[in-house]
Structure 1
Amino acid sequence: MGSLQNRTALAGNSPFRSYPDFAAYWCRSNRDVVHKGRAMAAKRIAWIDNARGLGIVLVVLGHVITTIGSLPVKSMIFTFHMPLFVFLTTMVLKDEDWRTAAVSKARALLLPYVTYLFLLGLPACLYRLSGSFSAGIVYGAKLALGGTYLTGTMTAFWYMPAIYLTLLGYLFLRQRLGGERSGRFVAAMTVVALLAYAISSLRITVPVPLALHAVPGLVLFMWIGRSIAWNRNVAAMTVAAIAVVCVAIWIERASAGRTFQLDLKNGILGVPLLGILLACAGSQLVFALARLSERSALLSRLLGFLGRTTIPILFLHQAVNIGLRDAGINNQYILTVTALLLPALFALCVRRHLPAACPYLGIPQAKTVGSAGEQHNERSASRQHAGGVTKAALH
């Protein structure tokens, strides 16, 4: 009786003639909300992928091109390109226990690091062993030590272990010292900043295992990145960034070519305070360009793809660059495009033909679209009577 009254009331007070009509509308509405929410979430993070794409292009440019005419391309890029990636890391940093992060970040960062170290290092080590046993042993020891012991084709490998240790150290301090806004945490970051500048002043030239001397500087930039509201007052921040760059150019010219180059790999933070400001300014300009790139579907897809394949490009671009130079190809533009293109194609081939290897190589796996059966269930669920068993495959 109650059910009949409910149906009558529903028919009299709503545009739905029956309860099944209402159920169908409810299912469609919820499905639309879910899909709309997913689209909004994708839109929110699209520019971050684009920024990663721009960042990895800058990394390759900095390793391939020194100057274009009188423009010091490498020095300009080195003022901010590594802090840029630290800032991007802070934007997606989860509030999780440092021990949980130790496992998840090991899979995301250290597993690809070890894989590429094996892929590139083992053949080189065997080649040296075939010529001289002692040379092979020394080279193998350098591979194990990592950090700034790695040069040549593996010169960019230092970053992964260093950022892994940075993340764990930062999360550990944040957890133990009462959060990022606590006085104890700020005091700890002040000590870290002093330590980073002390290391920077030493100009360390000897190899350091796992680039441990870079960790204080990375922690400092991680704190700075977490402290800046990158998504607020974007226009004002971009104008301020342009102003900082203009001041740096004026100082560079007034001081007869003083360099602001920031080299985190060697623990160098550049000019005190101004080096940090310039790193933040350069990163903000990249973020602004990444946001603008969303207006072009083609450019956004290209940068987003490069951003999602950052790890294989980071690990393989120097091997491509040096290999082509050894083969006699020295055109810097051809080298730049090829050093980006070949690792990206490698990632595509692995994702298509060897998906099980993707986690080991830092390659995002292809998203699977729901099967035809699942889509049929989703459509039929909206037509199920509310009193029946509704099987909704709402993704």
Structure 2
Amino acid sequence: MGDSNSDPDAVRRDPVNAADPMVDAHAQPDEAAAEAALRPHTLAEFRGQPRVAEQLGLVLAAARNRAHVPDHVLLSGPPGLGKTTLAGIIANELGVPLRISSGPAIQHAGDLAAILSGLAEGEVFFLDEIHRMSRAAEEMLYLAMEDFRVDVIVGKGPGATAIPLQIPRFTMVGATTRAGLLPGPLRDRFGFTAQLDFYAPEALTEIVVTSARRLGVGLDPDAAAEIAGRSRGTPRIANRLLRRVRDYAAVKADGHITRELARAALKLYEVDERGLDRLDRRVLESLCTRFGGGPVGLSTLAISVGEEAETVEEVAEPFLVREGFLMRTPRGRAATPAGWAHLGLTPPSASPSPAAGAPSLFDGED
């Protein structure tokens, strides 16, 4: 078995012998430690994705019954929904170590070969952002996933020789936020694919209550619902908001979180009742007040709020579109009636229609 300490991009964890990483109520963990401590460790603890949990549970149970290594698993969905958590749960359920790396860290086939050759029999290898792996490493991964073999190239030029190297049978768990960027041959090598959805408010409320208990924080049920309702359907955001409200309660009150205190804390952190943060509101307000609701080009909209176009497109837009506050049209971005209403504004009667065919001053930017 290879030594994971020699590879800065891989982490080996033994879920059987590791201590339970609960958070000490008197300790002050950093953000990474707090995030890890709040993650569930078994499928029974995993909330909010019952369909995925049931399907994955069957895959793992069947593999244990046959004493075989489970099929490779692909997890796809937006950030923060639990892909990394599920990878850890798979290792915990199987009672095997977990090796972690990421697509951007594997830029050469040799990097991947070094990790794969150090795996133990039955080990789980989690590759985050798998769609960002280099093409050379990707082609090596095909062979490793299907035949549990890698070809190591020795020498250069005409004298180069490929030496086949058998590797132990392992379970590959890939995670991606952009499943459409994965080549078909790679997708086809995964025996089980799970698409994670955004969480319902009830599930997020349960997650907030559980996280508060692990953090040793007193929390009223209606306060948990308030935090969950502003979390964009994402557990990572819910836990982050809970930690910020906890800090506010510790400084401004006696540490116990009530609904009124949660509202005051989230107002301070500029998270409104629908989960929009400062950037989201700036984008929506600029679209409505400066450009009459649009349509307006992405570059112009980004300049108006002092951000890069990529930031607006990748950070603010997805949530605004999902909430029905903003539309992406062929002529640019346009505010919806729901977007105007959320800001407490009335759309102008002469507001341009997104479907109008007349050219716009901002057409052609995107």
Indicate the TM-score class for this superposition, using the shorter chain for normalisation. under 0.3
Tell me which protein shows more helix as a share of its residues.
1
Q: Which has the higher contact order (CA 8 A, sep 6+)?
A: 1
Specify which structure has the higher proportion of strand: 2
Greater Rg by CA: 1
What's the TM-score once normalised by structure 1's chain length?
Answer: 0.24
TM-score, length-scaled by structure 2: 0.26
